[in-house]
Amino acid sequence: MKKRIIFLCFLLSLYVGNVFSQYRKLQHRPYADQRLFHLGFTLGMHTQDLILTQSGYLNDNGEVWFSEIPHYTPGFSVGMIADIYLSRYLNLRTIPTLYLGEKYFMFKEQTSGEEYAVQIRNNYLSLPLHLKISTGRIDNFRPYFLLGGYGSIELASRKKQAVLLKPYDFGFEMGVGCNFYLPMFNLAPELKFGFGLIDILETDRADLTDESLQRYARSLSKATQRMITLSFHFE
């Protein structure tokens, strides 16, 4: 009787092991997360936005202009990844990134409804520092959350336009992503939000020699940056 019970338990263990093996996937690059340091690159798309504060400036003609950014214009981003392993769930990383994009402003006079549009190109070099907080690995994917700050500099600002932005910015970033472990590399789609912390509107407009543009420049008192980035990391 005991022999039969042992034999049945043995058959049952084989059956259960076979069932679970059908659902367990082979892990690609199982020790990739344990490297102390690794590099990669990133490609992505982004949209640049500004939170605008109106000044309520009344010019000599009795006009009051206000402005907004009516729609987002997509841009392109490319960068390098440098990642340092801190613990099983924490990594410290920096991703120097070049952002190529533009902003579209629409000015409108509040009484007459007259409109004026201007488009400015903004190319930023950003240097962020992020803390990457990951979950446990599930087969060949691993979600994560990131939090950090950034500093950026404008590469080639154009003067003598109705809007001029300062060449530097500082802020914080947060985002979510997921590592997919492929046989040769990791692919990680990531959605990131950036929030500027300083006023980047240039109000000292000695460069603006066209007096007709002064009414637009003086209609704004403050601008802070916002950015949404969808990136694809290759590591």
**What pLDDT does residue 8 have?**
43
Q: How far apart are CA 204 and CA 199, in angstroms?
A: 13
Residue 192: count of CB within 10 angstroms of its CB:
22
**What pLDDT does residue 4 have?**
52
The number of residues making up the chain comes to 235
Residue range 33-234 forms a domain whose CATH class is mainly beta
**What pLDDT does residue 7 have?**
43
Could you tell me the residue ranges of all domains in the chain?
33-234
Mean pLDDT by 10 residues, the chain (235 residues): 43 40 64 86 94 85 86 91 94 96 90 86 93 91 95 85 90 96 92 95 82 85 94 95
**What pLDDT does residue 51 have?**
92
Q: Running DSSP on this structure, what letter comes out for residue 9?
A: H
Residue 149 CB partners (closer than 8 Å, separation 6+) = 128, 129, 170, 171, 172, 173
Record the pTM.
0.82
CA dihedral (66, 70, 75, 77) in degrees, to 10, reads 70
